Amino acid sequence: MESNSNSVPAVVVVDDNSRYRQQLCRLIGKISPASIIHEAENTAEALRISEKIQPNLGFIDVVLEDEDGILCASRLKNLSPLTRMVLISAYPDREFRRRALTAGAVASLDKKDLDTASVRQVIEDAFR
């Protein structure tokens, strides 16, 4: 297993909607061009990637086809404890936010609020 400390920042984006996932990856790439960005469409793929690279940051959709995104975040946190995770959702809900933070996420954001400024702030906090 490779540790990602003291190396190029790594990000994993977990979302079963390929169009949204690619859009978020492009935004992250513009904000942090040195980052290596990995895409996963489901929990199994996210776990494989995270085990290998130990990402600095993960953006995880709350609603995934194969598994609840909050459970995915919890499993990723167990596998890669130093990864800062942000749960994202098109369905803002206080219960999602509470469960996301309980699962180890540092933030829970509404997808419609993921603009350059909010993503930049998350990245800057994660890569300090």
pTM score, two decimals?
0.89
Q: Which helix (DSSP H) or strand (DSSP E) does residue 119 occupy?
A: helix 116-126
Name residues whose C-beta falls within 8 Å of residue 94's C-beta, 6 or more positions apart in sequence: none
1 has pLDDT over 60: no
Fold of 10-126: Rossmann fold (3.40.50)
pLDDT digits (tens, 9 = 90+) for 42-58: 999 999 999 999 999 99
Residue percentage of the chain with pLDDT more than 90:
59
